Structure 1
Amino acid sequence: MEVVSLVTGVLVTSFAVCIFRNKEDVQENMLVGGTKSPGRLVTLSCQTCRKLKHHLEIQEDLFECTKCGRQIDVR
């Protein structure tokens, strides 16, 4: 029974590490290889998502939510 618990724990831990590692890779790819020029990445409150989300700066003081695409002008 101890071997089964050990193997299960190892599999769950490796699965969790893979999930979180892929999230970071996706954000880096969006900044580096995206179609838009990379700008500042800030955390703002998105009105559509109703949560604090990452926003990319498209123009000076114009940000776009990385999840839903809504633009926020903070001028």
Structure 2
Amino acid sequence: MEWVSFTSGVIATLFTYALLTSQNDTDIEEDDLDEEVEGEDFSVRHVILSCQTCRKLKRHKEIEHNMFQCVKCKRHVDLRVS
């Protein structure tokens, strides 16, 4: 057996073992569950469009299907088919 193949196999085995046995630090604490979630709804889609009022590329949030609102100036952009 060649040493390169043997070393590659050992490294691959150790890497796989480390991935499978690693502990995730994503435990949710009980204090985090008690707090109310404030802010935007995560189902709202944000896109970057050119705002005619701001005259720049700005973030827009989708308020209806293909109906967007500028985050800065609150101007509506309607992309629905008429």
- In the superposition, the TM-score normalised over structure 2's length comes to 0.47
Who wins on radius of gyration, i.e. which is larger?
2
Residue identity over aligned pairs, in percent, reads: 53
Moved over 3 A (4+): none
Unaligned runs of 5+ in 2: 1-37
Match of residue 54, structure 2, among 49, 55, 73: 49
C-alpha offsets along residues 51-72 of structure 1, whole Å, 9 cap, x if unaligned?
Answer: 0000000000000000000000
Taking a change above 3 Å as real, the CA distance of residues 47 and 41 of structure 1, as seen in their structure-2 partners, is: same
Match of residue 67, structure 1, among 66, 72, 76: 72
Richer in helix (by share): 1
Q: 1:1-75, aligned counterparts within 5 Å?
A: 33-34=39-40, 38-75=43-80
Taking a change above 3 Å as real, the CA distance of residues 62 and 49 of structure 1, as seen in their structure-2 partners, is: same
Q: CA RMSD in A?
A: 2.0
Which fold has the larger relative contact order, with Cα–Cα distance below 8 Å and residues 6 or more apart in sequence? 1
Number of equivalences: 43
TM-fit CA distance, 1:37: 7.6
C-alpha offsets along residues 23-67 of structure 1, whole Å, 9 cap, x if unaligned?
Answer: xxxxxxxxx614x78510000000000000000000000000000
Unaligned runs of 5+ in 1: 1-31
What is the alpha-carbon distance in structure 1 between the residues aligned to residue 47 and residue 57 of structure 2? 10
**Letter aligned with residue 63 of structure 1:** F
